Structure 1
Amino acid sequence: MVALCVVVCPRRILLLAQKAIEHFESYISQRSSLSQNDVASFFSPSWCTPWENSLFWIAGCRPSAFIRLVYALDGADIESKLSEILRGKTMRAVDELQRQTIREEERLTARLAGLQEDMADQPISAIAKGIDWIGEMSGEIEKVLNEHERSMVEVLEEDDKLRLNTLKEILGILHPVQGVDFWP
């Protein structure tokens, strides 16, 4: 009976990890779909406290936080003995993943900063002067705002993709048991 568990359990663990990834992919897909209607709510969700919103990076956590968690678990005394696994080639793979992830985070941060600067630089006030009635939005303002929202949706989607890919890479580096223990 014990031998059967040793053979079956790793397969079940892999299936569990795959199911978790599928759930995360579904979550990202739903976020993408919902963000088409109100992207701003994902950058500062009303269901979060102001403190929680202050910790967000592009509508969620930084993907490199997953890697920092791996490093933290490496130093902790945990049942899975992750520290015994994270040595040599595995640790080099984690280090390389961290470098790549941080480069992508910096690229996305710069892109979002550019969008913020573009909004500040837009001649919104000049366009607004052409409004006949208070509260009436001119077609030109609406066009600029819609274009900005589309760009924000693209950044959100890229960031979610980076989060997902980083998580997949980590789970690919770790032993399946550690991957299931790690799952954020």
Structure 2
Amino acid sequence: MSKKKSHRLRRRVLAASTMLVLASPLALHAAERLDLAGLQSADRHDRFIVKYRDGSAAQAQPATIDAALGSVAGRLAVGGGKQRRLEHLRRTAVGADVVRTSRKLDRADAESLMRQLAADPDVEYIEVDKLNRAFWTPNDPRFSQQYGFGTGAGGIRATTAWDVTKGAGAVVAVLDTGIASHSDLNANILPGYDFISDTTVA
């Protein structure tokens, strides 16, 4: 067999082997355990949440997690070939573990790390430890009916603005035919000029 044919044969065998690995139940399970949605929350990441399966050594003995993390870090070279250390920070109330890299990773390197961790059959799931922020909303029981304040079509995105300021100290002029008595307004109305002299035709 010529060297050229031998080289082509090796490439075909390698491609077939790769397809078999990707199609294996282990690879499919690893993909199911991987939540990459959190990568879009920021450009760089250094904290991840890993949940080990009940009954696994890592779940029963958290001290063994560092060894597992060290094994993954040893196989992962990012940022121009530089290796990153992984450390176990703490266990959460739901039994998952927070791990941190020695430096922040860009999205591509973070995904590579997550895939390495998800390949462990003892891992139930892995996700980015992202920071969630709650929007401030009023306690008005009918707030959900006031679509104009929301973020949907026609909304002014007031819930986002209220996280910055709630208008304390601001005076608003209402150019309208008047206002009705309302518990939210009565204590906050300032005297002004009333352009309506005859309410019957207003």
Give the TM-score normalised by the residue count of structure 1.
Answer: 0.28
Structure in which a larger fraction of residues adopt helix: 1
Q: Which has the higher strand share?
A: 2
The higher relative CO (CA closer than 8 Å, separation ≥ 6) is in: 1
TM-score for both structures, normalised by structure 2: 0.27
Larger radius of gyration: 2
